[in-house]
């Protein structure tokens, strides 16, 4: 009886170890295949973290919106409703502490302060992992292109479905950042 219980517990543990990551991957892929795509203007930088590996950190231009009527605390989740502007980039229309309008796409962001009539927030998809040999080169290429004035746009392509948002890729002048680095070598 005891051996059967141990064997059963071991099998449940193995199944859980496969099920949980599998479910997370499925949810991400579902957002990428069924979600609405938005372009978020950004500027990448390359931090180095020994625990998380090589990645590029993304600082988005869309990081504030008109302050909602209700009081918002620091580090509180807020629903930021988005749409596309005339240039094809994501823009925030309004924010709320509670989910009110499910007909319009929204992103759950973290409030990081208010200033006068503006609510500042942090978007949840600000890290893009890439080949460790290319992360620093990508940051340098963007810095040089920005300084020389040849960079026209840089954006993160994000898919949004329901309360989930997934960063698909980062583009520099309509070229994936992975390919952009290869062309600059």
Could you give the residue ranges of the DSSP H alpha helices within the chain?
2-34, 132-148, 177-184
Predicted confidence at residue 22, as pLDDT, reads 86
Note down pLDDT in tens along the chain; length 185 residues: 688 888 888 988 998 899 888 888 888 888 888 888 999 988 666 555 555 556 677 888 888 899 887 888 888 999 999 999 998 899 999 999 888 777 889 999 999 988 888 999 999 988 877 777 777 777 777 777 666 666 667 888 999 998 889 988 888 888 888 787 777 65
Q: Which residues are registered as beta bridge partners of 122? A: 110
For 142-185, the DSSP string reads HHHHHHHT----EEEEEEEETTEEEEEEEEETTEEHHHHHHHH-
Q: Which residues are registered as beta bridge partners of 81? A: 94, 106
Domain boundaries along the sequence of the chain: 1-34, 36-184
Predicted confidence at residue 146, as pLDDT, reads 67
Burial class (CB in 10 A: 0-12, 13-18, 19+), 94: middle
CA distances from 17 to 21, 22, 45 (A): 7, 9, 34
pLDDT in tens, 124-146: 988 877 777 777 777 777 777 66
The owner of tokens 């080169």 is 137
Nearest in space to 182 (alpha carbons), one of 144, 143, 137: 137
């Amino acid at each position: 009886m005891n051996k059967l219980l141990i064997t059963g517990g071991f099998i449940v543990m193995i199944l859980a170890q496969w099920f949980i990551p599998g479910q997370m991957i499925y949810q991400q892929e579902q957002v990428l295949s069924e979600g609405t795509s938005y372009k978020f203007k950004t500027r990448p930088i390359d931090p180095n973290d020994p625990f998380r590996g090589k990645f590029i950190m993304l600082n988005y231009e869309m990081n504030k919106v008109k302050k909602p009527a209700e009081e918002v605390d620091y580090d509180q989740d807020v629903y930021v409703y988005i749409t596309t502007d005339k240039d094809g980039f994501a823009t925030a229309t309004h924010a709320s502490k509670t989910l009110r309008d499910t007909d319009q796409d929204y992103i759950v962001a973290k409030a990081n302060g208010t200033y006068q009539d503006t609510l500042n927030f942090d978007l949840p998809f600000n890290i893009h992992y890439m080949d460790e040999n290319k992360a620093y080169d990508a940051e340098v290429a963007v810095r040089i292109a920005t300084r020389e004035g040849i960079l026209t746009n840089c954006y993160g392509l994000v898919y949004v479905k329901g309360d989930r948002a997934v960063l698909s890729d980062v583009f520099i002048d309509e070229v994936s950042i992975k390919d952009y680095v290869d062309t600059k070598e």
